[in-house]
Chains A and B, each alone.
Chain A
């Protein structure tokens, strides 16, 4: 009885989550077509794999940012956290801890830092933008102290496993989606969106506001640190500044994907599509040999236009 009552709702709800993403899908589709038309070679299996590997870090941080933004917060420490993850990975892998120890260390680092940020935001109730701003300084400083300049050691086998000629990364994307579904199926996942939408109402309805928020920051921290691990595997070393540009990419990708700054609104598919658009954009412009200037300008314009278009249409229908 209960399953038959729920089943028919599943797909309509899934479909409704695409609402407001139409403009993004169209722009994304256009760029995919442009990309394939310009460089047919991208369709080869090996090239797809390489593309996914290039996209993966942006996708990961976009999802990490989305989780925090869903609670109504924002994370300005994403980039430094990725750097710190890569630094920790590259400096623990040569110790007796080995690859397994390095992965564990990076995960613990992300969860720990995320929990600290979450405590400041959820328990002490300081604005997330300031807490993460201050944290970005602290994390950057820590990374610079551990490894002042790029270096360290990443096991070649580990690099090959993650960023070599195997479709490992594609599997990781699927795992990411599955884990998200799992997260959403738990009370903490339901609380995540409820807290961002209406914290007071969520509290009155019995949602653990503090635990939902803290867990969100911890999960986001793990994702960010793991991105650092992946980047370290890709480059074969740790770099205390490698993540810097990712803070803005993460926010831009999430916003492109329709994740609201006010919390409670946004989807994983939006964040993934947003980050995919950014990646394709950069790739297309790179292959077209456009000067760096054009790359920056086009990136800025695409963000503004994709966000402005639905609003313009909304405004017109309001007045009409």
Chain B
């Protein structure tokens, strides 16, 4: 087999593996291992974050986490929900001022988020897959943005 063909085959192999490597940058919706469900729909996640649903199916209160200073992941997450960060925060401000609940606690970086979710029962958050460990439950993977 001549050398050029090997190179071409090698490149093809790299291209074939790229989805796997891209999956590392996927944003995952994660939850504490104890939450009573294994997956969530987009609508349900939106309902949690807008405060329309505040309890898990077993009655335990939902604890929402947010990131800060990680615009890439946050943008992916909020645009997946169809609400901009400012609109979401406006809602949270409304709720807070109306005394209906505190805004989500924030954590700087994916690892801090994963650690916080793992250590807080009933917690739900989001992080890049690369930072996700077995200590948390992945409820939904936000797919790659369509070109």
Q: Do A and B bind each other?
A: no
